[in-house]
Structure 1
Amino acid sequence: MGLVAVSVSGPGAAPARALAPGQECDPEDPQFVTQAPPAFDALGIPRAHQYSRGAGVTVAVVDSGVHAQNEHLREVVVDGVNVVEDDPHDRDAFEHGTAVAGIIAARHVDGSAVLGVAPEAMLQSVRVYYADSERAEEEDVHPKPQRIADGIAWAAQNGAQIINVSMSTTEDHPDLRAAVQAASDNGVLVVASTGNRGTAQVQEAVPRYPAAYDGVLGVSGVDRAGIWHAVASFESEHVDVVAPGQHVPSAYLFGGDCIFSPGDSAPSSSWATAYVSGAAALVAARYPDETPQQWAHRLQATATRASTAERDDRMGWGLIQPVAAPAVHR
C-alpha cells in the first residue's frame, strides 16, 4: 500500500491457524483453546472482574467486521454499520475484526477457555474494510483513512462509549481528525494502535493516526513477558500504554477459536489495542459518570513501569493493570 494507505496492525505475517502443532484453525471444523489467555494473568483480569465485567458499556470495533455467528459473540453484537458496501456489517472475511472483538468481549462457551476482558460489554461491528491486500485495493475494499473516519463518526453518534481502532495510517486526514474530536466531545474514548513494523509500508518514526491525535489512548504491543520488541513496534511519543500482543487466543471467524501471533511470534499491537479497549470498558462500567480522559488516566496512572514518574517512547506509561484502576482518586 502507498504512503497514505492504512496499515492493519495485525501480525507481520498472516495469523497462524494452528491451535496445536500440525492442527489448523478451521471454522468449518471448530476447535477450542483450552488454556486461558496468558495476558489474563499479566493484566490481573480475573481480579479486575471482581469490580467490573463491562456491563452497560458498548465498544465499537472499527475493523474488518465482527462475525456475530461465532459462539463467543452471539447476541453480543448489538448493531453496526458497513461503510464499504451494501453488505452485512456482522460478517468478517479477514478474521481480524472477529479476533479483536473476542479479545474485548467474548462470552464463555463450554469447552473453551477464551473469554473477553469485558465479557458483559456489548459490541458494535463497524466494518470499514474487507481485506488488506493488493486485490482488495484493486476492488476498493481495503482500509482507507476516510473509511476509518466514517466508522468512528458512526460509532460516536450511535451509543459507543469506547471505540477500538486496531489500525493506523500515516495520513493526517482532516475527516479522521474531525471524527476523533467529535467522538471525544461526545464522551467517547478512542483506543488506537500506534503501528506494527511487520505490516507498515512506512518504517520511519512518523506519527500514526488516529493514535497521534489528542485525546486518543495510543497502544503498543509487548510479548508475554512484557518485553517491547523493536522488530514489532515503533518508538513514539504517542504510545500511552502497552498490553500483550503475543500468543493471543480469541474467536475465529464464524466458528471456534484460534491463537493469533502464536508462540514466540512478534507481538501485535492489534491484539494489545483490543486488550486495552476491554480494560477501558471495565473502567467505564465502574465509573460511568467520568469522562473518557478520566478513564484513560486511570489506566495510565496504574500501569506498571520502570519509573513511576516517567514515560518513554517504547512503553508509554507502562503495562496496563486494570485491577488497580479503582485505586486512582480523582
Structure 2
Amino acid sequence: MRWSDGIDDERLIVVTIRNEAPMLVPRAGSTARSYRGPVRYSVSPTALTQSRSIATTYKLREITGWPIGMLGVHCLVYELADGADREATLQRLQRDQRVESAQPLHSFQTLMKPSSEPYRPLQRNLDLLNVSEAHRWSRGEGVRIGIVDTGVDISHPDLDGRIADHRDFVSASERGMVAEKHGTAVAGLIGASDRNALGIVGIAPAARLYALRACWSEPDRDDARCNTLTLAKALVAAIEAKTDIVNLSLGGPADPLLTRIVQRGIDRGIVFVGAAPANASDRFPTSISDVIVVAGLKEQRAADAMLFAPSEDVLTLAPNGTYDFLSGSSLAAASVSGGIALLLAREPRLSVERIKALLAPTMQHEIEAPPTMDLCLAVTSVVRGGSCGR
C-alpha cells in the first residue's frame, strides 16, 4: 500500500507554516506507507497550534505533516472538505497570514518507455559517448549521486556493492527497497559495476549511489508516479546526505515547494540533472535555473534542452537480476549524471556553468546525425596530459 492509496490527489493540498524553533531532525523523514500514518517529527508548539487552527478555519483534514528544517517550515498535506473548490481554497490560504505557502499536491511521472528494437548492438550508447576511453582517466571515484526515482533492485548482481544508502519515502514496509523498473534502469546506467565479469558497465562505475525512492510503479503502465511530498522528502534526504549530483529522470508541473528545496541544494553546490519533458507544460525540474537539462538525441526540439545523450534502445538493468533495452529522456539524463561524476572525480569544485562549458563543446556533429557528448574529451580537459583514442 502507498500512502496515497484510497485518497483522491485532486482533493489534496500542501501548506507550509513557519516553524521558527523546531527540534532538529537528523534525517529527512521516511514517510509512513499511507497518508494516515503517524507523524514522527517534532514541530514547534506555535506551528502545531496554527496547523490545527487552519484546519478548523477551512474545514480541512490533516493527512500528514513534516518539518523541513532547511526551509524553516512545517509542511502539511490537507484533504479538502467534500464539495470544496481547491483553487478557491488555495487562494484564501495564500492570503492568510498564518500560511507561509499553499499549493496543490502535484503529481509527477518518470520519462521512460520499453524499447521497440531489442536486438540492436549492445551498449551502443557507451560507444557514442566514448565512455571506455573516459574510464582511462576517471570512473567517478568517490562522487555521491542521489537517484530520486522508483525503487532500485539493490540485490542486482551488477549493483553489488554499488549502493551507498537506500531509503523509501513511499512505503513504510520493513522488507527493504522495492525493486522497480525505472529506478533500477537509471541506477544501472549510471553506476553498474565494471569489474565483475558480467552484465553491463555503468558510466560512473566507481561513484557512490544513493537510491531514494520517491516514485512508485503503476499497474499496466510503463511510467511511474511521484508527488510533491514524496519528492520533497527524497530531495531533502539527498541534500542532507551531501550528494554531489542528484538525478531527476522525471517531470511534472512547476512546484513552488520542490523548487525551493532544489534551489537550496544548488546553493550548497549540488548539481541537479533533469530529463527534458515530453510536454511543454511539465516545468519541474527543468525550468529551474542551473538545473542541467538533458534530451535524447532525437528530441532536440525539447523545451529548455541544454545537452543531448543517447535515449533510444539503451541496454540497462532490470529488476530480478535481469537486463532490458529501454528508451526515453530519463536515460539521457542518467547518462549525463554519470558523465558529470567522471568530471567531479577529477575536479570536485566544478560549477554548473563550468560543467556545461566542458560538456557542450565536446558534442560531436556528424552528417545527418544529432550531436552527442564525448565524455573522454570532457574529462581530459581537466586532466593534465590526458588524451583520447578517437
Q: Return the TM-score normalized by structure 2.
A: 0.64
- In 2: Cα distance, 1:88 partner to 1:206 partner: 37
| Corresponding residue for residue 193 of structure 1 | 275
- In 2: Cα distance, 1:279 partner to 1:215 partner: 17
Q: Is 1:215 aligned to residue 215 of structure 2?
A: no
| Corresponding residue for residue 74 of structure 1 | 160
SS at match of 1:184: helix
1:250 to 309, 316, 332: 316
Given residue 211 of structure 1, which amino acid in structure 2 is its aligned partner?
T
**Is the CA contact (8 Å cut-off) linking 1:67 and 1:90 kept in structure 2?**
no
* Pairwise CA distance, 1:328: 4.7
2:149 to 58, 63, 79: 63
| Corresponding residue for residue 321 of structure 1 | 374
Percent of aligned positions with the same letter in both sequences?
26
Given residue 207 of structure 2, which amino acid in structure 1 is its aligned partner?
A
Q: Return the TM-score normalized by structure 1.
A: 0.75
Given residue 9 of structure 1, which amino acid in structure 2 is its aligned partner?
L
| Corresponding residue for residue 91 of structure 1 | 177
* Pairwise CA distance, 1:254: 2.9
> Per the alignment, do residues 19 and 247 of structure 1 end up closer, same or farther by CA in structure 2, a change over 3 Å counting?
closer
> Per the alignment, do residues 109 and 247 of structure 1 end up closer, same or farther by CA in structure 2, a change over 3 Å counting?
farther
**Is the CA contact (8 Å cut-off) linking 1:71 and 1:109 kept in structure 2?**
no
- In 2: Cα distance, 1:90 partner to 1:78 partner: 14
Count how many residue pairs are aligned between Structure 1 and Structure 2.
Answer: 278
- In 2: Cα distance, 1:124 partner to 1:285 partner: 17
2:344 to 279, 284, 301: 284
| Corresponding residue for residue 299 of structure 1 | 359
- The alignment yields a C-alpha RMSD, in angstroms, of 3.1
Given residue 144 of structure 1, which amino acid in structure 2 is its aligned partner?
N
Given residue 256 of structure 1, which amino acid in structure 2 is its aligned partner?
T
Q: Which has the higher contact order (CA 8 A, sep 6+)?
A: 1
Q: Is 1:104 aligned to residue 190 of structure 2?
A: yes
- In 2: Cα distance, 1:122 partner to 1:243 partner: 22
> Per the alignment, do residues 218 and 41 of structure 1 end up closer, same or farther by CA in structure 2, a change over 3 Å counting?
same
**Is the CA contact (8 Å cut-off) linking 2:164 and 2:210 kept in structure 1?**
yes
Given residue 157 of structure 1, which amino acid in structure 2 is its aligned partner?
E
Query: Quick check: which has more Rg, 1 or 2?
Result: 2
Q: Is 1:173 aligned to residue 255 of structure 2?
A: yes
**Is the CA contact (8 Å cut-off) linking 1:89 and 1:126 kept in structure 2?**
no
**Is the CA contact (8 Å cut-off) linking 1:106 and 1:115 kept in structure 2?**
yes
Which digits, 9 at most, give the CA deviation of each residue in 1:143-197, with x for residues without a partner?
113322321221011021011111001x22111101111111111100011123x
Q: Which of the pair is proportionally richer in strand?
A: 2
Which digits, 9 at most, give the CA deviation of each residue in 1:194-218, with x for residues without a partner?
123xxxxxx4x33521011001000
Unaligned runs of 5+ in 2: 1-8, 11-103, 383-390
* Pairwise CA distance, 1:296: 3.3
Unaligned runs of 5+ in 1: 21-32, 136-140, 197-202, 223-227, 262-267, 307-314
* Pairwise CA distance, 1:117: 0.3
* Pairwise CA distance, 1:142: 3.4
Instruction: Answer with 51-60 or 289-298: which moved more.
Output: 289-298
* Pairwise CA distance, 1:36: 4.3
